[in-house]
Amino acid sequence: MKLAAIPGITPVSMRSVDGTATALTELLVSVRGPESAHDPGVALAARDAAELAHENGAGLVAVVSHAQADPAILVGMVVTADTPLGPDAAAELAHHLSDGEGQDIREVTSSTTTRGYPVVIAERILLSGPPTAGAQLQAVVIEPDGRRMAVFTLHSTTGRGWLELATVLGQLVSSVDFAENHSPSSLSR
């Protein structure tokens, strides 16, 4: 699977949990400004994202930035199903998410990428306290009649500039290309 390089998405190293957490923290502080170095939520959110990414075999951890937004953390991975997903996989996933499975899910939409891949997008507004408060967007791009799904999770602790950040993620999602079946993936470890 291939992804395009998108302006505003800066990947960090995935060599170790500590290295990923440190790189995320440094990048978040450099984007938000030096005063954010005193915000314990920045380092905590970076650490949580690094741990989750490494535990779940993510192949992409990045900071998403936009001039009109606070930075957000992006985690991406390829998930492989045991059996082929089938032509209704996107509709089934959207129905499952819309059917009250996630109390914090605000909206579920379905679309198709420019390459013709189905994508399901779930937006969550997280109401608990920092560092998990804010907004989260998950986009799942499905390989039609295949076994792979590219799963992207974008998390902003402040929600400031959320639509701009979601637009940057949308550009990445639109670039997913499953046609390269056996090439090294940007999302595979």
pLDDT at 99: 66
Considering the entire predicted model, what is its pTM?
Answer: 0.86
Q: Model confidence over 135-188: pLDDT tens digits? A: 889 999 999 878 899 999 999 988 889 999 999 999 999 999 998 654 444 555
- The CA distance from 34 to 28, in Å, is 10
Q: Model confidence over 68-102: pLDDT tens digits? A: 999 999 999 999 988 877 777 777 776 666 665 55
Label residue 87 exposed, middle or buried (CB < 10 Å: 0-12, 13-18, 19+): exposed
